[in-house]
C-alpha cells in the first residue's frame, strides 16, 4: 500500500520504495552507521542482474497514513549501539515526516553486524 494525498484538484501517491529511500539516506547520514543490510543471497542475485536497490534492508508499511519502518543496520566498530540506534530512529522519523508529511509510528532498528575498521 502506498501513501496517498487528495486535494480538491489532484491526488498524490508516494510509493513505499520512495519512503524507504528517504529512510535509507537518513540512516546512512548517522555517524556510526556502516551500511544497511539485507539478505545476502537476495542481494547477490539482484546484483548479478544489474538491479540496484538503494533501500536494501528497509521494510515500509503504511496504515491509515501512519508509517511503520523496519531496518537492518551494520554499525562501525567502537560506536555505542544504543546511541546509534536512537539517532537512526530520530533522523529517519524526522526525514520521512519532513519530506512526506506522514506520521511515523515506529522505526525499528535491527543491528545485524559490526563493521571492523581497517587497521
pLDDT digits (tens, 9 = 90+) for 69-105: 999 999 999 999 999 999 999 999 999 999 999 999 9
Q: What value does the mean pLDDT of the chain take?
A: 84
30: pLDDT strictly greater than 50: yes
What's the pTM value of the predicted model, to 2 decimals? 0.80
Please say if the pLDDT value at position 45 is more than 50. no
CA dihedral of 16, 69, 81, 76, whole degrees rounded to 10 = -10
Classified as helix, coil or strand, 82 is helix
**Could you say which of 3.40.309.10, 3.30.70.1350, 3.40.50.300, 1.10.1380.10 is the CATH number of the domain covering 16-115?**
3.30.70.1350
Share of the chain above pLDDT 90, in %: 62
Q: Which residues pair with 110 in a beta bridge?
A: 72
Q: Which of 65, 74, 73, 63 is nearest to 23 (CA)?
A: 73
Given a cut of 50, is residue 43 above it in pLDDT?
no
- 38 against 15, higher pLDDT: 15
Cα gap 40→18, rounded to integer Å: 22
Can you tell me the distance from the alpha carbon of 109 to that of 58, in angstroms, rounded to the nearest whole number?
9
pLDDT at 54: 55
pLDDT in the model for residue 44: 47
Amino acid at each position: 500500500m502506498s501513501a496517498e494525498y487528495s486535494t480538491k484538484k489532484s491526488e498524490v501517491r508516494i510509493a513505499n520504495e520512495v519512503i524507504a529511500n528517504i529512510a535509507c539516506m537518513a540512516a546512512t547520514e548517522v555517524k556510526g552507521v556502516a551500511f544497511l543490510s539485507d539478505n545476502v543471497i537476495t542481494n547477490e542475485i539482484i546484483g548479478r542482474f544489474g538491479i540496484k536497490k538503494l533501500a536494501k534492508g528497509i521494510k515500509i508499511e503504511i496504515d491509515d497514513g501512519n508509517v511503520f519502518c523496519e531496518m537492518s543496520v551494520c554499525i562501525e566498530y567502537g560506536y555505542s549501539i544504543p546511541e546509534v540506534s536512537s539517532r537512526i530512529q530520530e533522523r529517519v522519523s524526522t526525514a520521512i515526516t519532513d519530506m512526506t508529511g506522514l506520521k511515523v509510528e515506529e522505526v525499528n532498528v535491527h543491528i545485524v553486524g559490526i563493521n571492523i575498521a581497517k587497521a
